[in-house]
Structure 1
């Protein structure tokens, strides 16, 4: 008798993806990281039914990228361990505080520099934004985000119940170049919140501190009136462990 993988099924449904759409997303993820795969609806069905106990490494990496969840926490009975980037120390700019609280660099990054260290773990994401519809008041968004590293790519997804302002899932798609982190962000606001389920997205660029435990920079995004907004954003490492027990402990709203 096989045991169905209800965890993987729940994660897929939480992403609002059909089995066919999930398979397509896995293929696209494999293409992006240079590891093409042949994920299909039938394969997803076999995973979820328990017919396949563990995915091959190429599929495991694609699963982590698409779900934002470490393979160990996706319900497979015998997950394939992934080769993580070796932790050979952290490098980066000499950072100093700027008047706005976002660090500035004293030097320039080396073009196409190799990533240093492994930044996989649970990070506290904090950003600030101005709400024009609420007298231009400044608000703070916070999420506990699972960040996973594959080579020089970082993918992040907030834990299901880990948003400060109701249920507003956040995803990050980033690339490392030495101590510079550049990429995109997407947030789906809560249906019953102030923004009534609106989807916001934009770009982000941050610098990694020499300790490797903090990234800070700025986001850019579009407002309701077709204006371009920006504000500070930082990520702070809370725990390098991405095991199920640790994920469960951070699956809660951050403190205000």
Structure 2
């Protein structure tokens, strides 16, 4: 992520504040994570790590399949905090449910240089912490990388997006970013809306964007299965 240890610690503290789980992450804490001295982060830290990196805690080198965390109760003992398991791939999701899982991202854009419409698709991992959503594309699903930072308010989802295009592609590694607003369908299996952003001619463009639910798991095995290009 091209962050120093101090910068990464600062991002962890900011993420904790945003999700209502304050933490005291420091440069030393980051060093201990990198050295493997911390094998199971406390829940607040685990959620901040997921929010900053945009990937599940299991994919950061911590024990796979961990659904609970042991935390110090302040009295010399420990409490067990249980993480709610993700829904199964076939589960019906309401607009108020947890959206964590793998989704197919698809948006359309007009290329003024080529004078035609194009479609861009990525498999993405979506993580939810309270009303905050982070979306990060899986590296093998497209030549470009894409991410979103979103806020949920009922069935309305609002936020920002950024995409780094392929260095060897038509846009030669250019970065594009903008705003997005989505509406969750009643089933919770599709998020549909529009993006707005700037074009290469310094004009403001817009177009349709949809996320379609694929799988409620964010395990390493599931992410590996979707780390490929979507079917046309």
TM-score range, shorter chain: 0.7 to 0.9
Choose from 81, 86, 107 the match for 1:127.
107
1:14-25 paired onto structure 2 within 5 Å: 15-25=1-11
The match for 1:73 is 59
Is 1:158 aligned to residue 137 of structure 2? yes
Matched length: 215
1:181 matched to which residue of 2? Answer: 157
* Aligned-partner Cα distance in 2 for 1:243–1:149: 15
Residues 86 and 216, structure 2, Cα contact 8 Å, conserved in 1: no
Q: 1:201 to 1:31 in 2, by over 3 A?
A: same
Deviates more, 1:81-90 or 1:192-201: 81-90
Aligned equivalents of 2:7 and 2:231: distance in 1? 35
1:147 maps to 2:126: yes
2:197 maps to 1:231? no
Q: Report deviation, 1:162.
A: 1.7
Gapped runs of 5+ residues in structure 1? 1-14, 93-115
Match in the other structure for 1:33? 19
Query: Alignment partner of 1:59: what SS?
Result: helix
Alignment TM-score, normalising by the size of structure 2: 0.85
Q: Which residue in 2 is equivalent to 1:248?
A: 224
Partner of 1:147: helix, strand, or coil? Answer: strand
Q: Please give the secondary structure, in 1, of the residue aligned with 2:14.
A: helix
Name the counterpart of 1:170. Answer: 146
Q: Which runs of 5+ in 2 are unaligned?
A: 69-81
Using the TM superposition, give the Cα deviation of residue 152 of structure 1 relative to its aligned residue in structure 2, in angstroms. Answer: 1.4
Q: What SS does the aligned partner of 1:128 have?
A: strand
Q: Are the counterparts in 1 of residues 58 and 219 from structure 2 also a CA contact under 8 Å? A: yes
Partner SS, residue 161 of structure 1: helix
Task: Pick the structure with more strand per residue.
Answer: 2
CA separation in 1, counterparts of 2:93 and 2:230? 27
Pair 1:44 & 2:30 matched: yes
**CA distance change for structure 1 residues 75 and 86 in 2, over 3 Å: closer, same or farther?**
closer
Distance 1:91 1:47, change over 3 A: closer
1:208 aligns with 2:184: yes
- Contact (CA 8 Å) 1:63, 1:71: kept in 2 or not? yes
DSSP 3-state at the match of 2:37: coil
Task: List 4+ stretches of structure 1 deviating above 6 A.
Answer: 85-89
Q: Deviations over 1:84-115 (max 9, x none)?
A: 499797546xxxxxxxxxxxxxxxxxxxxxxx
| CA-based RMSD | 2.1
